[in-house]
Amino acid sequence: MASATDSLSHRGPDDRGVFVDDLHGVGLGHRRLSIIDLSEAGHQPMEIEDRRYVVVYNGEIYNFQKIKSELTGFGHRFTSRSDTEVILRAYQHWGTRCLKKFIGMFVFAIWDRSNRFLFLARDRLGIKPLYYYCKNQTFLFGSELKALMAFSGFERQVDPDAFQLYLHYQYVPAPKTIFMNTCKLEPGSFLIFNGKEIKKSRWWEIDQRESRHPDSELKSESANIDRLDDLLTQSVSDRMISDVPLGALLSGGVDSSIIVALMQKVSHTPIKTFTIGFNEEGYNEAHLAKKIANHLGTDHTELYVSSQDAMQVIPKLPEIYDEPFADSSSIPTFLISQLTRSQVTVALSGDGGDEQFAGYFRYWASATLASWLKWCPVSIRKGIEKQIGTISITKLTKLYNAIRENLPQRLQIENFPDKWQKFVKLIGKTELSELYRLSICIWTNDDIKRVTGHTVPFGTFEQFFNTSQEMDPINRLTAVDQLTYLPDAMLTKVDRASMAAGLEVRVPLLDHRVVEFTSKLPVSHKLRNGKGKYIAKKLLCNYVPRELVERPKMGFGVPIAQWLKKDLKNLLNDYLSPAHLKREARLDYKIVSKMVHEHMSGKTNHQHRLWALLMWEMWRERWMD
């Protein structure tokens, strides 16, 4: 128990605690990052009613004071100022229905001794993580897989299906994990384990019927902007409650700029904002963030990092992401978290905006292609696919870069070579789900079968598309991302990187009141003339000049393609060498070697595929060898 708890010391450097009920074979461990009530009264595991209820908890309940007042009216008495005790008393009073009362990000486990079961719950959007292992009546749980792996009884057996899913998506989608008999608790869900079996329930989800038929009362653009402003102002205000220093991550994009603008709106002093920049062209937004900060009057800190700074993070990634994870933007996410933690303990971020306001170019591209290709004869599609497949990607990229500035904003995209390669594959598809799959996945099912000998299993992605045919295409795409990509990739990236630096990140855009509101908005208020975030940009223009808002979207990434050819060349050749791959015999080393050669020669840009394989091999060496 102690080693498992200490494996999460980065998530809670301020305090540690263990509870053991020998009679019932139950143990709870906790590491604390002190945010609210820094005194000993906030210590966990926390017990009430003579150990009848014991809780371990990670996260923040932003409306805990209101719930506390309500419970006090029912006769409950409190001994601390912490939200942890509010969770316990709320469960004591309302049972599992207490979850509906909470506004915040959280996972927690309550040992209910009188009923002899464990009650585990996860917040609505999956901002905080929860893993569990169950085999032969052994039940383990934790915020990260490394806590489970610390137990001698945990079996580190790779799930073959999860490996195929990892290659397909660059992460392992819930409820699966990379290991057999091990799961992620899905967002908005809870489970009860009584010592013999698990009973799992969904306690919150977005009503997709409202996405099919947006509320007629929400057609007024100005009224919706005002309502969004009110909701986000409340959400930001709620998340600025802290007993420790607080700031914000500012990328210069629409979402983070809205959050910082609203923080400054409700604050009496300049907000601390943090940005990192890269010197490589096409990957730097620091100068834009600085303009936003100057206009809003924040206390701004920026740090330009070199490729060597980023390289030093790469060996740490398998430790930070103890499940295979191949989003290279985890590198700048960790660096900005380190920078921010040097001055504050809590930071607000703009995560979640793209999935609500149709901010990704792929939404418009997939929906438009689906509409066009549906009416395009097969013979014409095949002819187009054959012709564009013969075009030199190097020459095409040079041509595109020469005319890029003269194109409509929605067509001014970054990483053109990779986007073009995906477009070539899209021509042969007509179904929205398959078009979208190709836009987000780095390997097709056929590719994975060739390199591993196995196909990708059916999962949440397919389940959603099979039950959402009546929805508008854009709403279908944003909804599937909110169910899959957002919690399993984006929020996972931010949580692990920030917690590795001892920083708590709060996400006002993912307040469930905001999400429920945006799900009812007309599509035209999200995506208009091929450009996403329409209403969000309108709102931001109330706080900053339009010229700082209307510009091409740029991802928060690093130049992995160049690094693999230069700084990471030796690392890549080592981990993806035939000799190394033959030892595990999970990948076709001939296909991988061909990929490496094509990338190094400049024939094809395999950056995402090679990065995924590199992260897999580094993870396997750290956790399996």
Q: Where residue 37 falls among pLDDT bands split at 50, 70, 90?
A: low
pLDDT digits (tens, 9 = 90+) for 97-108: 999 999 999 999
> What's the pLDDT score for residue 429?
62
Rounded to an integer, what distance in angstroms lies between the CA atom of residue 11 and that of residue 32?
7
Q: Where residue 331 falls among pLDDT bands split at 50, 70, 90?
A: very high
pLDDT at 498 over 90: yes
Q: Where residue 422 falls among pLDDT bands split at 50, 70, 90?
A: low
- Going by C-alpha positions, the residue among 544, 77, 509, 145 that lies closest to residue 322 is 145
pLDDT digits (tens, 9 = 90+) for 237-291: 999 988 888 999 999 899 999 999 999 999 999 999 999 987 766 566 788 899 9
Q: Where residue 519 falls among pLDDT bands split at 50, 70, 90?
A: very high
Concatenating the DSSP letter of every residue in 288-313 gives HHHHHHHHHT-EEEEEEE-HHHHHTT
Per the model's pLDDT, the better-predicted residue between 277 and 319 turns out to be 319
Q: What six digits make up the tokens of 386?
A: 């054959």
> What's the pLDDT score for residue 415?
56
> What's the pLDDT score for residue 40?
74
pLDDT at 365 over 90: no
> What's the pLDDT score for residue 585?
85
pLDDT at 540 over 60: yes
Q: Where residue 425 falls among pLDDT bands split at 50, 70, 90?
A: low
pTM, two decimals, is 0.90
Q: Where residue 96 falls among pLDDT bands split at 50, 70, 90?
A: very high
| Backbone angle region of 352, left / alpha / beta, with phi > 0 → left and psi within -120 to 50 → alpha | left
pLDDT at 412 over 70: no
Residue percentage of the chain with pLDDT more than 90: 62
Q: What crossing angle do the helices spanning 160-169 and 607-623 adopt, rounded to 10°?
A: 140
pLDDT at 545 over 90: yes
Rounded to an integer, what distance in angstroms lies between the CA atom of residue 121 and that of residue 223?
36
Q: What six digits make up the tokens of 213?
A: 């038929």
Q: Where residue 452 falls among pLDDT bands split at 50, 70, 90?
A: very high
Fold of 208-357+491-548: Rossmann fold (3.40.50)
How far lies 98's CA from each of 102, 169, 335, 544, in Å?
7, 35, 37, 40
pLDDT at 120 over 90: yes
Q: Where residue 491 falls among pLDDT bands split at 50, 70, 90?
A: very high
> What's the pLDDT score for residue 625?
78
> What's the pLDDT score for residue 416?
65
* Intrachain domains 2-202 and 208-357+491-548 with the same fold: no
Per the model's pLDDT, the better-predicted residue between 512 and 310 turns out to be 512
pLDDT digits (tens, 9 = 90+) for 143-176: 999 999 999 889 999 999 999 999 999 999 999 9
Q: Where residue 432 falls among pLDDT bands split at 50, 70, 90?
A: confident
Question: Average of pLDDT values for 185-212?
Answer: 88
Contact between residue 323 and residue 178 where contact means Cβ atoms under 8 Å apart? yes
Where are the strands (E) in 144-286, listed by range? 182-184, 189-193, 198-202, 246-249, 272-278
CA atoms within 13 A on the CB side of 66: 8
> What's the pLDDT score for residue 511?
97
Rounded to an integer, what distance in angstroms lies between the CA atom of residue 27 and that of residue 45?
10
pLDDT at 214 over 80: no
Q: Where residue 22 falls among pLDDT bands split at 50, 70, 90?
A: confident
Question: Average of pLDDT values for 607-625?
Answer: 94
Burial class (CB in 10 A: 0-12, 13-18, 19+), 294: exposed
**Spacing of C-alpha 455 from chain mean position:** 25
Task: For strands 131-135 and 138-142, give the pairing.
Answer: antiparallel
Per the model's pLDDT, the better-predicted residue between 605 and 187 turns out to be 187
Q: What six digits make up the tokens of 396?
A: 């095409």
CA atoms within 13 A on the CB side of 155: 12
Per the model's pLDDT, the better-predicted residue between 54 and 210 turns out to be 54
> What's the pLDDT score for residue 193?
97
Count the neighbouring beta carbons within 10 Å of the beta carbon of residue 591.
Answer: 13
Q: Where residue 369 falls among pLDDT bands split at 50, 70, 90?
A: confident
Burial class (CB in 10 A: 0-12, 13-18, 19+), 136: exposed
Q: Where residue 388 falls among pLDDT bands split at 50, 70, 90?
A: low
The domain limits of the chain are 2-202, 208-357+491-548, 361-479, 560-623
Concatenating the DSSP letter of every residue in 313-324 gives TGGGHHHHSSS-
Question: Average of pLDDT values for 300-324?
Answer: 92
Contact between residue 611 and residue 560 where contact means Cβ atoms under 8 Å apart? yes
Q: Where residue 313 falls among pLDDT bands split at 50, 70, 90?
A: very high
Residues 6+ apart with CB under 8 A from 19: 27, 28, 29, 45, 47, 54, 56, 111
> What's the pLDDT score for residue 353?
96
Q: What six digits make up the tokens of 346?
A: 């809590």
Contact between residue 206 and residue 519 where contact means Cβ atoms under 8 Å apart? yes
> If one looks up domain 2-202 in CATH, what number appears?
3.60.20.10
